[in-house]
Amino acid sequence: MRHVIDILDLSTDEIRSLIETAQDVIAHPGDYYGVCGGKKLATLFFEPSTRTRLSFEAAMYELGGNVLSVTGAGTSSASKGESVADTAKVVSCYADIIAMRHPKEGAALVAANNASIPVINAGDGGHCHPTQTLADLLTIRREKGRLGGLNVGLCGDLKFGRTVHSLINALSRYEDVRFVLISPEELKLPSYVKDNVLKPNGIPYSQTASLEEALPELDLLYMTRVQKERFFNEEDYLRLKDSYVLTPDKMKLAGPDMCVLHPLPRVNEISVSIDDDPRACYFKQVLNGKYMRMALILMLLRDAGTIR
Ligand code: CP
């Protein structure tokens, strides 16, 4: 049974194929309605979400399928102590595919090891968020016309930001990608990402605390929220939460084609006054997430033999 727990579970060819499918869905949506008729997606979200859960559900509805949903650990038998492993076995009796978000790193893998249907990781703690990365890649492809040859700034909470970890893993496969890691000292990218991904693959990167210094050289700026829910100490969160705020004045330092992405939700790190700047692509990214999730559901259900 095929699962997607980490972006590394998808080959570069598969990512290319998913992007092609998503672009075909955008061009010919009517061809896809009904492809998943009679099939069910279970969205098991043990942590809050707006985009990921609703885009998975919209994706399945637009493919003609149905949705079973758990929202919040308190509304399921997880609150009575049921394990992730048992939950995965139970849901396999009712649904054809699972998308799961959980606060604990590794929870989606446990689900995959116990389910008899495909499991998609919709975010596990501070670890991975592969379908956000698929949304990011489609957005970059559509906005920049390529996935290689990019100078990519990653800004904010690089320590707990699971979307950043997955995106670095994905973009590191393409030619001539450079990263500028922009964060306060306390929120630097974890060493394991540098040691396991950037250094062994010879990917050039630099680290700075200054967004202003980095901006003029970037093709892409990926802003992130400081992840309040991952802090042990509220004082540290309050001190760091407004480390970076992208404003119209700062945007004047960036090139005319720089693309601003953000996985959202944003708190204060992007001023709403740049939402109308043509370089602001984060709401396009939201929509692209639905198309890539449609493509992924199709791929996994076809691989499982559930649909043709
Ligand atoms: N980007 C993202 O994961 O958003 P949600 O938390 O709203 O799903």
- 263, part of any domain: yes
pLDDT at 214 > cutoff 80 = yes
* Residue 80 designated active-site: yes
Q: Are residues 209 and 223 in the same domain?
A: yes
Q: String of b and e for 89-119 (b: at least 16 CB within 10 Å)? A: ebbbeebbbbbbbbeeeebbbbbbebbebbb
Cβ of 99 closer than 6 Å to ligand 1, yes or no, is: no
Q: Are residues 145 and 280 in the same domain?
A: yes
pLDDT at 148 > cutoff 90 = yes
- 1, part of any domain: no
> What is the SS3 assignment for 179?
strand
Q: Are residues 37 and 99 in the same domain?
A: yes
Catalytic residue among 3, 39, 53, 101: 101
- 20, part of any domain: yes
When pLDDT is cut at 50, 70 and 90, the band that residue 73 belongs to is: confident
Structure tokens at 134: 């698929």
Task: Please state the rounded mean pLDDT for residues 68-77.
Answer: 88
Predicted local distance difference test score (pLDDT) of residue 127: 86
Task: Please state the rounded mean pLDDT for residues 196-218.
Answer: 97
What are the residues whose beta carbons fall under 8 Å from the beta carbon of 94, sequence distance 6 or more? Answer: 40, 42, 68
Q: Are residues 177 and 214 in the same domain?
A: yes
| CA of 17 relative to ligand 1 center, distance in Å | 24
Q: Are residues 173 and 298 in the same domain?
A: no
Q: Count up the domains in the chain and report the number.
A: 2
Structure tokens at 54: 């609703």
> What is the SS3 assignment for 306?
coil
Q: Are residues 53 and 194 in the same domain?
A: no
Domain extent for 296: 7-127+289-303
Q: Are residues 206 and 123 in the same domain?
A: no
pLDDT digits (tens, 9 = 90+) for 156-201: 999 988 899 999 999 999 999 999 999 999 899 999 999 999 999 9
Q: Are residues 115 and 140 in the same domain?
A: no
Cβ–Cβ contacts within 10 Å for residue 139, how many? 22
Q: What percent of the chain has pLDDT over 90?
A: 87
Task: Please state the rounded mean pLDDT for residues 93-103.
Answer: 97
Predicted local distance difference test score (pLDDT) of residue 162: 84
Query: 208 with 233: CB under 8 angstroms?
Result: no
- 2, part of any domain: no
* Residue 129 designated active-site: yes
Q: Which residues pair with 98 in a beta bridge?
A: 42, 119
* Residue 52 designated active-site: yes
Q: What percent of the chain has pLDDT over 70?
A: 99
Predicted local distance difference test score (pLDDT) of residue 76: 87
pLDDT at 282 > cutoff 90 = yes
Predicted local distance difference test score (pLDDT) of residue 231: 66
Q: Are residues 280 and 143 in the same domain?
A: yes
pLDDT digits (tens, 9 = 90+) for 38-51: 999 999 999 999 99
Q: Are residues 265 and 167 in the same domain?
A: yes
Q: Are residues 120 and 134 in the same domain?
A: no
* CATH number of the domain encompassing residue 44: 3.40.50.1370
Q: Are residues 158 and 247 in the same domain?
A: yes
- 198, part of any domain: yes
If you take atom 6 of ligand 1, which residue's CA is the nearest one?
Answer: 49
Cβ–Cβ contacts within 10 Å for residue 239, how many? 13
pLDDT at 295 > cutoff 70 = yes
Instruction: Give dist(CA 225, CA 212) in Å, integer.
Output: 18
* Residue 308 designated active-site: no
Predicted local distance difference test score (pLDDT) of residue 138: 98
| CA of 111 relative to ligand 1 center, distance in Å | 20
Cβ of 290 closer than 6 Å to ligand 1, yes or no, is: no
* Residue 89 designated active-site: no
